[in-house]
């Protein structure tokens, strides 16, 4: 059984992992997708559906962590306009 603390921890982990992307657009997409996914599944009441959604979230966290490692190993050569204004 997945409890509320585990779900919140997963959400925070996904948001934290998404902040590691070097590209502004991907960071914002990861944040928006994470929050939308958790809002969409907020009303789940069936324990089997909650377990299923939690397992899918864990898989997505593994994917994000793997992709971040690749992005950090091979960063983009140019910055987009949003990153230029921030500096």
87 domain residue, yes or no: no
Contact of 52 with 1, CB cutoff 8 Å:
no
Task: Give me the phi and psi of 49, to 5 degrees please.
Answer: -70, -35
pTM: 0.84
Residue 79 DSSP label: -
pLDDT digits (tens, 9 = 90+) for 21-66: 988 889 999 999 999 999 999 999 999 999 999 999 999 999 999 9
When divided into structural domains, the chain yields a total of: 1
52 domain residue, yes or no: yes
40 domain residue, yes or no: yes
Check pLDDT > 60 for residue 86.
Answer: no
24 domain residue, yes or no: yes
Domain extent, residue 56, equals 2-81
86 domain residue, yes or no: no
Distances (CA, A) of 80 to 34, 72, 75: 23, 16, 12
CA dist 31 and 25 (Å) reads 10
* pLDDT for the residue numbered 43: 93
Check pLDDT > 70 for residue 87.
Answer: no
Check pLDDT > 70 for residue 85.
Answer: no
């Amino acid at each position: 059984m997945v409890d509320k603390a585990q779900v919140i921890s997963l959400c925070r982990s996904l948001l934290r992992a998404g902040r590691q992307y070097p590209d502004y657009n991907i960071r914002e997409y990861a944040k928006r997708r994470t929050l939308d996914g958790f809002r969409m599944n907020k009303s789940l009441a069936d324990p089997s559906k909650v377990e299923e959604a939690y397992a899918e979230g864990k898989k997505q966290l593994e994917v994000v962590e793997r992709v971040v490692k690749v992005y950090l190993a091979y960063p983009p050569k140019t910055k987009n306009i949003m990153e230029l204004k921030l500096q």
